[in-house]
Structure 1
Amino acid sequence: MEIGKLEVVGTVGLILFCVFMKYLLDLIWLKPLGMRKKLEKQGISGPSPLFLMGNASEMKEIIRECGLSKAAQAIKPDEITGHGYAPSLFPYWEKWAQQYGPLYMYSTGNKVHLYVNSPKLVKEMSLCMSWNLGKALYLAKSVRPLLGDGVIRSNGKSWADQRKIIAPEFYMDKVKGMIGLMMESVVPLLKKWEESIQNGGGIAEIKVDQDLRNLSADVISRACFGSCYLRGKEIFSKLKDLKNIISSSGFLFNLSNFGFLPTKRNRSTWKLQKEIDSLIMKVMDQSSEGLASGQSESDDHLLQALMKGAKRECPGLTLSSDFLIDNCKNIYFAGHDTTAITSTWCLMLLALNPEWQDRLRAEIFEICGDSLPDADALNKMKLTKMVIQETLRLYPPSPLISREVLEDTKLGDLEIPKGVYLWTSVSGLHQNQDIWGPDADKFKPERFANGISEACKLPQGYIPFGMGARVCLGQNFAMFELKLILSLIVSRFSFSLSPNYKHLPAYRMTVEPAYGVDLLVSKVNY
């Protein structure tokens, strides 16, 4: 009898083991193989993957070779001849694109990726309003401590509900009403630089990237928190530390999945996440007290607007829920980091091209005279907008767009199976000579004189704010803030690159200057 029981247990165990092995084999090999076969039948090729690793080892080797081929990566200001950085940041994509064209597949572990830089298919992705193309779930997991499950990383109905609440707060009429608080943040920076110039005997060397990061943090803090903006700035500091930890781990194609282990890096991540969430909760509590006390509409700030929106659109959502915390982090990161980096690149490019400083200065003086710019004046600054557009073309804050195919989807004539990850190189599109001409890597704001449609052969080749249904919610806010910062700085100061400036774009979730931007700044004499 006992022998019979043991035989049954052994048989059940063997069956369970076989089922598990079949599941494991299907997960790590058969399912990805099936995806690749479907794509191959449609004429899509790519580098051959290795069992378990895919093309990850080859990607690492390409990166290693690229690093060895440029021992001194950073270059001096007088050595900058163009702004094509994609081959150094994503050398595997560039190498494979030369071999297989703008559409090819590759793998990392059990993940099948499709590189899509064919303008025709990028257009199809831009027109796709379906929920079937969502944010990559494995990336969402990697950056969850930084962004949670907010609107940037969520999918499906959750994403649609959050967007419905948040989008109205960035409509043009709301953004125009924020010009005053933007001005409150910029003026102290102008005074700080004027004092540095005076103390330096008429010229000062300023590391502008940190000042612009602080400025952008101040703007978003005031917009989000109102009178509590100083606590918001503390949150920004911790978010920056958290971003640096996450981006240093190679999160894009990291094969390891040990986020649950108490490693030194994970402990630091958990600690920062807890501190950030706690700080946001404190501000939320203060804002809730303001709402309960009948605070007037004129005292509203973004956090309170989100609270009201959540109550209105999702009555069952509590004010202490993750929705508010996660979306505060999303707004802080997207609204602060990208604007700060873009304004930094703007000044770097203008420092290299002083004739454009003169042209902007003349336009600003013609429109504003001795007055500070308002929303209407900013709308009239055509040359300033052109410089910003060209900066976003050459140095888009997010150099890539990722999507996960959540259900079998058709893009043009291409049938893409569920589970495939789509990647579009924004920087690759923005500097494609077939779209922009032979001077695609050069700074030429005049290409935007007659709008985007005349600047390039294919409008879908310009996507600095993303594309499709998931285009950036805060682009109106960002453009107004960038115009204001640029107009106030250029109208008061002239500047050039310091000999200490080392040019090296680096990918840290966004493309930023690896060593910051050092400028020699002096006052403009009219």
Structure 2
Amino acid sequence: MEVDVATTALEGDVASPSPWSLLCGLAALLVLWAVSRTAERCWLRPRRISRALRAQGLGGTVYRFPAGDLAENGRLNEEARSKPMPPCHDIVPRVLPHLHNTVKEHGNVCLTWFGPTPRVVIADPKLVREILSDKSGQFEKFISKRLSKLIALGLASYDGEKWARHRRILNPAFHLEKLKGMLPAFSTCCTELISSWETKLAASSGSHELDIWQDFQSLTGDVISRTSFGSSFMEGRKIFQLQGEQAERIIKAFQYLYIPGYLFFPTENNKRMKEINQEIEWLLRGIIEKRERTIEDDGLFGNDLLGLMLQSNKDTETPSLRMSTEDVIEECKLFYFAGMETTSVLLTWTLVLLGMHPEWQDRAREEVLSVFGKDKPNFDSLSRLKTVTMILYEVLRLYPPAVTLNRKTSKEMQIGGVVYPAGILLELPIILVHHNPDVWGKDVLEFKPERFAEGISKATKDQPVFFPFGWGPRICIGQNFAMLEAKMALSMILQRFEFQLSPSYTHAPYTVITLHPQHGAQIILKSL
């Protein structure tokens, strides 16, 4: 009996451990799980994938635990941005120094590392076209949803059914007939810019220096405010200022994304990014709610992008397929950011290159004056501007706003004879394809708009290798908007002014999501 009691007591002790013991055991299991997950993600998987890809003949950089190539990439970027470059168009070594060096050493298809995640650079034009032409959804957009939401999710970030649903809703807003109705807003904004330049010239001694980068950001911000929201630039100015700051902060955060949960760390940068996002969303929610009240009271959606989007959304018969208010906010964030950035970048580099190559400035002006005289450009005649179009295409070739695109393999697949597992990042450096002498010829780094004299297909020898707005089913929905705005602005500037690069201009392209002039773009302006 005594033994039974003792045994029972012992069993009772074993069956009822103290709460402290349970907590220690649970903590130990969590630590073990975290260590095993980290080891798999940051050591075992990278080594396993590296061996598999190298066994198939793929060269590239060696994985460095745990940041991969991010530290070296950051160092080379900082070094490149510390000094300007000559006024030429061989900009890749400055804009993408690490990628340029890697491709130069290992070829057009090579392995690099985004933290512990393998990233394959694909600069082969045929493979880039194959990936961008995908209609089956095998290649997903690679994007940190949490980071992207801080600037704009929207159509550019979605995959699968959600992308298709948003594209269907947004398409009507970007039809050419709808864009034609926006031309008066383009004209009004450009007229105000022209008037401000003429005022500055009137107060000067015949010429005036100005930074067109700042002015074109204001111009395209004004255009997107009026055409998207029926409001003025002053109402949208705060959103543009916040998004500009956000873009700079996102670039800072990008190099630390390999650290799990980094965006939750209470750093000054992370806290400020969340504050900015909340303020932008609050401002946009106010604009949307104001429009919805107008629709409810008067039944008028408006002919701007917001109104057209809301009307298309309401006309979607199945309620479950409509966009939510949060979806609309994200699309509006994308309107603001992409709508301003793409065209301001294109116009800035266009004037810089026409300042470097005044003979083409003269040819473009001669064409504009022969078509419009001093009258305001109209929709139908803008499409007849052959020389202006050639110039814009050549600028987009040499200085594409988005220098690289990213995709991700959704499953195991073969690309160019190499089998890749699911989850491999694919970096498609558009600028390298645009600067490839095997495609464009030995004069690839020269500014020669005449290469587009017979259209894009002749310029590329019938190879689809011109990707300033992407390619395939996911080609940028706003490309016609951007080109129409750029043609209008450039035509009105050429009608009234001649310009040259200022001695204070420093050629220093670099990326802040899109391709910016690091030190601005100063020109000397004169009236005709």
Counterpart for residue 141 of structure 1 = 146
Where structure 1 has 5 or more consecutive residues not aligned to the other structure, the ranges are none
SS of alignment partner, residue 155 of structure 2:
coil
Match of 2:453 among 438, 449, 455: 449
Structure 1 letter corresponding to 2:111 = M
Alignment pair present for 1:251 and 2:261: no
> Cα deviations across residues 336-388 of structure 1 (Å, max 9, x unaligned)?
11101110111111111111121111111221123211111100000000110
In 2: Cα distance, 1:17 partner to 1:93 partner:
37
In 2: Cα distance, 1:296 partner to 1:26 partner:
56
SS of alignment partner, residue 461 of structure 1:
coil
SS of alignment partner, residue 119 of structure 2:
strand
SS of alignment partner, residue 105 of structure 1:
strand
Structure 2 letter corresponding to 1:32 = P
Counterpart for residue 74 of structure 1 = 84
Shift of 1:176: 1.6
Shift of 1:55: 3.3
Counterpart for residue 419 of structure 1 = 423
Shift of 1:430: 1.0
Instruction: Say whether the 8 Å CA contact 1:124–1:412 is kept in structure 2.
Output: no
Counterpart for residue 30 of structure 1 = 44
4 and 122 in structure 1: CA distance in 2 versus 1, 3 angstrom threshold: same
238 and 18 in structure 1: CA distance in 2 versus 1, 3 angstrom threshold: closer
Counterpart for residue 509 of structure 2 = 505
Match of 1:301 among 304, 313, 318: 304
Counterpart for residue 56 of structure 2 = 42
Match of 1:220 among 214, 219, 224: 224
Counterpart for residue 312 of structure 1 = 315
Identity over the aligned pairs, expressed in percent?
30
Structure 2 letter corresponding to 1:214 = S
62 and 271 in structure 1: CA distance in 2 versus 1, 3 angstrom threshold: closer
Counterpart for residue 282 of structure 2 = 278
SS of alignment partner, residue 402 of structure 2:
coil
Where structure 2 has 5 or more consecutive residues not aligned to the other structure, the ranges are 1-10
Instruction: Say whether the 8 Å CA contact 1:386–1:449 is kept in structure 2.
Output: yes
Stretch deviating more after TM superposition (344-353 or 105-114) = 105-114
347 and 228 in structure 1: CA distance in 2 versus 1, 3 angstrom threshold: closer
Match of 1:164 among 155, 165, 168: 168
Structure 2 letter corresponding to 1:263 = T
387 and 157 in structure 1: CA distance in 2 versus 1, 3 angstrom threshold: same
Alignment pair present for 1:83 and 2:86: no
> Cα deviations across residues 1-35 of structure 1 (Å, max 9, x unaligned)?
22465599688877766555443332223333343
Counterpart for residue 69 of structure 2 = 55
SS of alignment partner, residue 352 of structure 2:
helix
State how 1:367-516 maps to structure 2 within 5 Å. Answer: 367-457=371-461, 459-516=463-520
Instruction: Say whether the 8 Å CA contact 1:32–1:111 is kept in structure 2.
Output: yes
Counterpart for residue 104 of structure 1 = 110
Stretch deviating more after TM superposition (454-463 or 177-186) = 454-463
Instruction: Say whether the 8 Å CA contact 1:108–1:253 is kept in structure 2.
Output: no
Stretch deviating more after TM superposition (225-234 or 458-467) = 225-234
Shift of 1:411: 3.1
3 and 168 in structure 1: CA distance in 2 versus 1, 3 angstrom threshold: same
Counterpart for residue 98 of structure 2 = 92
SS of alignment partner, residue 494 of structure 1:
strand
SS of alignment partner, residue 107 of structure 1:
strand
Structure 1 letter corresponding to 2:103 = A
Shift of 1:213: 0.8
Instruction: Say whether the 8 Å CA contact 1:231–1:279 is kept in structure 2.
Output: no
SS of alignment partner, residue 293 of structure 1:
helix
In 2: Cα distance, 1:376 partner to 1:301 partner:
20
400 and 458 in structure 1: CA distance in 2 versus 1, 3 angstrom threshold: farther
Structure 2 letter corresponding to 1:141 = R
Stretch deviating more after TM superposition (228-237 or 412-421) = 228-237
> Cα deviations across residues 436-483 of structure 1 (Å, max 9, x unaligned)?
112211111111101112223463331110123221110000010010
TM-score (norm 1): 0.91
Instruction: Say whether the 8 Å CA contact 1:122–1:460 is kept in structure 2.
Output: no
Structure 2 letter corresponding to 1:307 = L
Shift of 1:393: 0.8
Counterpart for residue 353 of structure 2 = 349
Stretch deviating more after TM superposition (317-326 or 425-434) = 317-326
17 and 286 in structure 1: CA distance in 2 versus 1, 3 angstrom threshold: closer
Structure 2 letter corresponding to 1:144 = K
In 1: Cα distance, 2:205 partner to 2:212 partner:
19
Stretch deviating more after TM superposition (273-282 or 408-417) = 408-417
Counterpart for residue 121 of structure 1 = 127
SS of alignment partner, residue 415 of structure 1:
strand
Structure 1 letter corresponding to 2:184 = G
SS of alignment partner, residue 467 of structure 2:
coil
In 2: Cα distance, 1:498 partner to 1:325 partner:
41
In 2: Cα distance, 1:123 partner to 1:490 partner:
35
In 1: Cα distance, 2:360 partner to 2:423 partner:
47
Structure 1 letter corresponding to 2:91 = Y
> Cα deviations across residues 130-173 of structure 1 (Å, max 9, x unaligned)?
222122133x33232111x3111122222221112112211222
> Cα deviations across residues 64-88 of structure 1 (Å, max 9, x unaligned)?
6x54xx96x125xxx52x2111112
In 1: Cα distance, 2:323 partner to 2:32 partner:
48
Match of 2:364 among 354, 360, 367: 360
In 1: Cα distance, 2:131 partner to 2:483 partner:
24
Instruction: Say whether the 8 Å CA contact 1:311–1:317 is kept in structure 2.
Output: no
In 2: Cα distance, 1:252 partner to 1:168 partner:
38
SS of alignment partner, residue 131 of structure 1:
coil
Structure 2 letter corresponding to 1:99 = E
Instruction: Say whether the 8 Å CA contact 1:224–1:302 is kept in structure 2.
Output: yes
In 1: Cα distance, 2:161 partner to 2:210 partner:
46
Pick the structure with greater CA Rg. Answer: 2
Instruction: Say whether the 8 Å CA contact 2:355–2:499 is kept in structure 1.
Output: yes
The number of equivalent residue pairs is 512
Shift of 1:412: 4.5
Instruction: Say whether the 8 Å CA contact 1:339–1:478 is kept in structure 2.
Output: yes
Instruction: Say whether the 8 Å CA contact 2:59–2:106 is kept in structure 1.
Output: yes
Shift of 1:489: 0.3
In 2: Cα distance, 1:280 partner to 1:331 partner:
11
TM-score (norm 2): 0.91
